[in-house]
Amino acid sequence: PKLFERFEDHIVALGNLNEYKSQELSNISWSYSSAKESHPELFKKIANHIIASNDLSEFKTQDLSIISWAFATADESHPRLFMKFADYLMALDNLNGFNPQVLSNLVWAY
């Protein structure tokens, strides 16, 4: 729909996404993929913002899993984003903070 295009155009035109929290990025990603709306530039903007982040610890486990799920569901390939997430996950001492739904979303996305 045109409304999705309008939102995408606005977000993509922003200089950066620094005002967006991880949950907001997660919600946007989820919304577009669930609605089966293909907007590669929006997904690219979100991915590049996350890649540029120095610290993924601000991301809740659910946000990481939903963003991963959304990119995979939307068939938006972004290897650098998935590598950033994988590096972060591998550096964790354990995955005790990851509930079964979060883990299943991550496994499915990869």
* pLDDT tens per residue across span 42-54: 999 999 999 999 8
Average pLDDT over residues 10-27: 96
Residue 83: its pLDDT value, please?
96
Per the listing, tokens 């946000």 go with: 63
- pLDDT over threshold 80, residue 98: yes
Instruction: Give pTM, 2 decimals.
Output: 0.92
Helices (H), 1-99: 2-13, 22-34, 40-52, 61-73, 79-91
- Give dist(CA 4, CA 42) in Å, integer: 10
What percent of the chain clears pLDDT 70, i.e. is strictly above it? 100
Mean pLDDT, the chain, integer = 94
